[in-house]
Structure 1
Amino acid sequence: MSTQTFTLPDVGEGLTEAEVVSWRVAPGDVVAVNDVICEIETAKSLVELPSPHAGTVGELLVDEGRTVDVGTPLITFVAEGATEGSAPDAPATAAEAPEEGSGSVLVGYGSGAGATSRRRKKPTRDVRSSVGVIAKPPIRKLARDLGVDLAAVTATGADGEVTRDDVVTHAEQASVFRNIETPEWGAVREEKMPAPATAPVGLARGIAPAPAGDPERTESIPVKGVRKASASAMVQSAYTAPHVTVWKEVDATRTMELVKRLKASPDFADIKVSPLLIMARAVIWAVRRTPMVNAAWIETDDGAEIAVRHYVNLGIAAATPRGLLVPNIKDAQNLGMKDLARALNRLTLTAREGKTAPADQQGGTITITNIGVFGMDAGTPIINPGEAGIVAMGTIAQKPWVVDGEVRPRWVTTVAGSFDHRIIDGDGMSRFVADVAAVLEEPALLVD
């Protein structure tokens, strides 16, 4: 029976290797030409590979998660209609019609010897999935990136095709309700996975490792593919953790109203209450929804890995006679409002008295700096070593604010966050800061 082998092609972006992220087919599956067979991750992007053949899948030659060089055999096919005595096995190639212009070997075409002297025709990809949704591969990738179920999207394109605008509109509508569900803190605190073989160039020094102890306290993500390439570029540029800062102006009127009520409550009679308490709860709440801001970049003998902590040791930057200290509240995610308020009181009082123990300054996972007490509106704080993010809370002052079409005096503050761009990207940073801002705008979100 005739079989054909499809090798990892050059996708026209200087590709030398790629990771097989996921297989979309299994041995025995019947595929048509241009059906997506697998998804690969290069140093630049996530790419879907279409099948160059119609027939039956024979063998998957590369495991998911493995990184291989261009030209490595990926999959075999039993050709459609093949019989015993058919042509011998041969590497997969595409139609050899010449094409005008310049370019490289395209996705879906083999990387045989003829690739350097003639162009391959780019296939017309099948846009129908197995469930009947019509969408082109870039739209499918966009939907995956935004967490959109294509089957739930209202299509407005020709012949019922889902367009980019359809996906974006659906994602925006869904975001209105994103605060309804909040993830639970899991029982597993951290998990570890192997690091890649090669370390990114110029890694920052002095990054503290994850706390020792229970091996299930850290979830470690291999640094490779897009993450590995962007991390190397960021570190080479800054020679240390590459900082990026985003900020948002917030109507904190309801936070101020809640603080006033708590101060008047008998339950908080012996506890100092300030907006920092609500800010702390907001950060803890937002970490659950974007856990990468609570991660750390870890250097290993094999390269690097990202440790995602499923607990929050909340650091509070404190100005003291000895200088700036950042003691932290261990396992702050387990504390209720009163216990967190007491912990904040103890932490700040001890720091100001110069009695902070060394252990209280170690093992932090994310930090808050309250620059508002100095009358500052916003800033670009520096990340505490061993952490991925720090949040700054500006002064809360009355300002004119548009509410329901009318200008009214409101209590307004600015939330700023600096993040390690090796670990977290712009969408995650923005989502986290927006979540913190949402709680300050509406503290009722904390009641879940």
Structure 2
Amino acid sequence: MPDFKQFPLPDTAEGLTEAEILNWHIQPGDTVAVNQIVIEIETAKAAVELPCPWAGVVTELLVEPGQTVDVGTPIMTVDVDPNGAPVDNGAPPAATTTVHEPADDEMKPLVGYGAKPSAAKRRPRKGAVPAAAPEPAPAPVPEPALQVAVATEVIPLAKPPVRKLAKELGIDLRGLTGSGEGGVITRDDVQHAANGVAPSPAGAQQPTGGETRVPIRGVRKATAQAMVSSAFSAPHVTEFLTVDVTPMMEFRAKLKNSPAFAGVRLTPLAFAAKAMCLAVQRTPDVNAVWDEPAGEIVYKDYVHLGVAAATPRGLVVPKVRDAHTMSLSQLAGALDELTSTARDGKTPPADMLGGTITITNVGVFGVDTGTPIINPGESAILAFGAIRDMPWVVDGQIVPRKVCQLSLSFDHRVVDGEQGSRFLADVGALLSDPAVAMTY
């Protein structure tokens, strides 16, 4: 007898309240295995793929791509196969036809347990579901009380960057035929459609006069909320320092030719990050946080370094865990991997949490400096500006040097001006003469 269960949107990261539906990997009528990936969502942290906790047949998709739904909202219904190795929750299969949300213990093994995903297969759709309570025999069976909705529209298959491009160009993906493998709509499909006449996308309004309206959601919404909260709760102070980094750049050139750094992408950002980790040792206040509810200042004896990264989804700040324990080579490798993963939208939600201090590389955009906003839960953020050839006074003579600007924003409830100035000066000293690290 059918056993229908509804799959609610789970909390995939600490504090998640909602997520945007990006793409379904299955359709009504498909057979799914335990832990088979069925949907891709975008949270405030990153894009996440969700597996199904049961084996069975998909009977209904309750949400569509583009929708933003709250955690706990049912997103699909599955006719659970009692012989299909469902998630072990200690309870036998239901004896009657029911539609219910899974218990907490049913939802625990979302990833990494159970059978491997198998290819989706279709079987004939059932037109209706029997009533929740079976009628006693031999009375005639009444009209079914619960009907399984039949999808009347094919959900377009496209990756998030392609969906974003379609929104920007005003292309409705539902009107396109994908040229990619399995009918997936590609970037070329969208661009070809943009050369002709195409209707507006479902999630955007394009009135005359050249306006485009895009819903505020996902990473952009989370970033806005976090920055507003930080800017109006923590009293920001920003200090600036111009530094001659010629010795650092010369040292970098030597290290790049060293066998110990073979294959390592050694960027100036790695030197700045290493300088921050060293400078924190002398000024731990910048690595502390103001805990308003507890009435305490919490000092961290570790550095989880946040790195602001621009991605197609917006600004994200993944963390390098225990950066204070890493050598320059290890830190350079971690930064390269972290930023590449963030740009691809593959940062695990856990890597977005628990930062202690942040660096933002505005220099990569050719910008000299800025007044960055502190990330919530931290007390300081350093902006690393562009390195330029500039005139500089050395031993009374004006000579060309490699120069950059640093700016440090800090929470004045935790960090006094003297402490913020000392930390910024220490970072500058380490960049202007890497040998200073020997004195720490």
**TM-score, reference length from structure 1:** 0.46
